[in-house]
Amino acid sequence: MSLLPILTHEATDVRRLGPVDREQAVAFLHEQPTVNAFHLGWLHENDIVPRQPYHRYEFLGAFDGSRLVGLALLAAGTVCCLSAMSDETAWSIARRVGASAPPLRTVVGPRDATRAFWRGWASPGETPRLVHDQVLLGLRSRGLRYFPEPLLECAGDDDLDQVVAASLDMHSEETGLPIDAEERELFTRSVATRLRSGRVYVTRDEMTGQVAFKASISSWSPTAAQIEGVYVPPRFRQRGLARRGLSEMCRQLLYETGEVTLYVNEGNEPARRLYERLGFRQAARMSTLFLDAR
């Protein structure tokens, strides 16, 4: 994979953000609300600093003087969601993150920014475990092509095992990477939290009652909602379940938010055709980097 050249200077000052920075952070993110939908949702639902001791995250801000020019959300020390105005800014954020040596496993953000981040993070000769180049898609209510799905509903506790299994299968299909015991525990906990918050939607096979389609809301704000984990188990495919289920889910979300966004792997042509058929349009080129544990 061709990555950007190593940058050799600190482009900006990077520090942890606090309540005094919230207004500026929101204004910065609203400059590109579709690209920054996840950050906006997190700020709306969790605030810029944790409200509870068990919420493990922080926002880092990159400043050019007093002006905010980049931002990163570090969740549980393992996931970095990046938004930066320049490659130098992304590089500087990576240097700041690396100084605290978190067990970072995933970096998500605009394509050029993630590559610049990697050059600031990586040791000489190091390569990412896996790189997924993706497309960010957006959909507004006027663009939705609606296909009804009356059987779509929020998943319940009885669905947890099936939803976790489907999520793990999806991860395996998309990445081909194994999940160790620690990652599996974190993964299961994340799915359970979303499910019990009413943010996992499913349809069930009418004959067996098994989960035949699932998708989750990963982030929500009045500006945009982000959907993740759209999945149909192989035995239920070719029935239009994803088309109807996702269409119905988007219809419901668009009553309360201005836009629905999601990521799709650039080479996943069947999924891209489905989303385009529903009315989604490309908004940005993104990447997800999967990193080896240090």
Which band of pLDDT confidence, cut at 50, 70 and 90, is reported for residue 11? Answer: low
Task: Round to whole Å and give the CA distance between 205 and 212.
Answer: 6
Q: Compute the distance between CA of residue 192 and CA of residue 186 in angstroms, rounded to an integer.
A: 10
pLDDT above 90: percentage of residues in the chain: 84
Residue 271 has pLDDT above 90, yes or no: yes
Work out the pLDDT band at 4, boundaries 50, 70, 90.
very low
Tokens of 286: 């993104």
Using alpha carbons only, give the angle 241, 138, 55 rounded to the nearest 5 degrees: 90
Domains 13-127 and 141-284 share a fold: yes
Q: Taking the domains of the chain in order of start, what are their residue ranges? A: 13-127, 141-284
User: Which CATH class name applies to 141-284?
Assistant: alpha beta
pLDDT for residue 218 is more than 50: yes
Contact indicator for 213, 242 with CB cutoff of 8 Å: yes
Residue 186 has pLDDT above 90, yes or no: no
pLDDT digits (tens, 9 = 90+) for 27-49: 999 999 999 999 999 999 999 99
Exposure string of 28-38, with b = 16+ CB inside 10 Å and e = fewer, is: bbeebbbbbbb
103 confidence band (pLDDT: 50, 70, 90): confident
Listed range (28-32, 178-182, 206-210, 244-248) with the worst mean pLDDT? 178-182
12 pLDDT higher than 90: no
Q: Are 143 and 279 in contact (CB under 8 A)?
A: yes
pLDDT beyond 70 at 211: yes
Give the three-state DSSP class for 272: helix
The contacts of residue 224 (CB under 8 Å, 6+ apart) are 33, 34, 37, 40, 41, 138, 257, 258, 259, 260, 261
Q: How is domain 13-127 classified at the CATH fold level?
A: Aminopeptidase (3.40.630)
Over 50: is that where the pLDDT of 172 sits?
A: yes
Residue-wise pLDDT for 85-100, tens only, equals: 999 999 999 999 998 8
For residues 146 and 140, give the distance between their C-alpha atoms in angstroms, rounded to a whole number. 12
Mean pLDDT over the full length of the chain: 93
Q: Which residue has the higher pLDDT, 168 or 102?
A: 168
